[in-house]
């Protein structure tokens, strides 16, 4: 299969923002559509009706501004250019970053972007996978979503890993209320971003936080 044709940078940045704006259920449907599943197969996988799948699928297509599955696949899977060109800040040695995000597409886009910016980023779905990845090597910084689909959410992970390991933590979440921000900061987060987040801005925050941690 030939690689998808890259989209223009401006269009791809719009795609990233739109993906981050989807609801969790819409994101699940989007991921399965991209995988090539039929409406019936998606309904069985998510334990919902075919009608509900069609409703979510239509909304995904509308929000992503595409007219066909082929366009959706091309938009999501196209190689992602760096935002704004070269990395903002030179890093003496790559920062190891673990992205904890249960939505597969967002996790892949985020880790790919951070690696392009010069970091060493890997992605995991939840706290269980984070523990396994941490055993392979400690991270300088965690980038954590709040809602992870498990009993231990991102706020719990933030508090636990800051206390046990002293790593930097940046929360990236669709929950942007003042109470959510305060809860994240009280548990030890160094920064709190609300989706959709600019990966260029996230890269700058990670780089500056990494410099502060290495001076400590």
Is-contact 100 157, C-beta < 8 A? yes
Band (20; pLDDT cuts 50, 70, 90): confident
Q: Which segments within 27-106 are labelled E, that is strand? A: 96-100
Residue 64 and residue 57 in contact, taking contact as beta carbons nearer than 8 Å:
no
Which range in 6-10, 66-70, 105-109, 184-188 is most confidently predicted, on average pLDDT? Answer: 184-188
- Reported confidence tier of residue 52, pLDDT bands at 50, 70, 90: very high
DSSP 14: H
Percent of the chain surpassing pLDDT 90 = 35
CA-wise closest residue to 75 among 1, 2, 7, 3: 7
Q: Who has greater pLDDT, 125 or 35?
A: 125
- Per-residue pLDDT tens for 116-144? 888 999 999 999 999 999 999 999 999 99
Confidence of residue 1 (pLDDT cuts 50, 70, 90): very low
213, burial (CB in 10 Å: exposed 0-12, middle 13-18, buried 19+): middle
> Predicted confidence band at 86 (pLDDT cuts at 50, 70, 90)?
very low
What does the block give as tokens for 38?
């039929």
Give mean pLDDT, residues 73-93.
Answer: 59
Q: Which of 205, 151, 162, 215 is CA-nearest to residue 185?
A: 162
Q: What is the mean pLDDT of residues 147-171?
A: 89
Exposure letters 26-43 (e unless 16+ CB within 10 A, then b): bbbbbbbbbeebebeebb
Domain architecture of the chain: domains with CATH = 9-77 (1.10.10.10), 96-215 (3.40.50.2300)
Q: Which residue has the higher pLDDT, 99 or 87?
A: 99
User: In percent, how much of the chain has pLDDT > 70?
Assistant: 86
């Amino acid at each position: 299969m030939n690689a998808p044709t890259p989209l223009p940078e401006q269009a791809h940045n719009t795609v990233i923002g739109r993906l981050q704006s989807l609801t969790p259920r819409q994101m699940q449907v989007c991921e399965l559509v991209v995988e090539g599943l039929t409406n019936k197969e998606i309904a069985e996988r998510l334990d919902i009706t075919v009608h509900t799948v069609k409703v979510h699928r239509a909304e995904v297509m509308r929000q992503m501004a595409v007219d066909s599955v082929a366009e959706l696949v091309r938009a999501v899977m196209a190689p992602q250019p760096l935002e704004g060109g070269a990395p903002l800040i030179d890093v003496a040695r790559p920062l190891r970053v673990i992205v904890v995000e249960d939505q597969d597409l967002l996790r892949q886009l985020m880790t790919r972007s951070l690696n392009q910016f010069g970091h060493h980023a890997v992605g995991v779905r939840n706290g269980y996978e984070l523990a396994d990845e941490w055993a392979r090597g400690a991270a300088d910084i965690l980038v954590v979503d709040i809602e992870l689909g498990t009993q231990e959410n991102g706020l719990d992970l933030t508090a636990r890993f800051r206390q046990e390991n002293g790593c930097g933590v940046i929360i990236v979440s669709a929950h942007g209320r003042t109470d959510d921000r305060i809860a994240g900061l009280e548990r030890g987060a160094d920064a709190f971003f609300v989706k959709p987040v600019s990966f260029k801005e996230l890269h700058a925050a990670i780089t500056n936080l990494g410099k502060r941690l290495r001076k400590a």
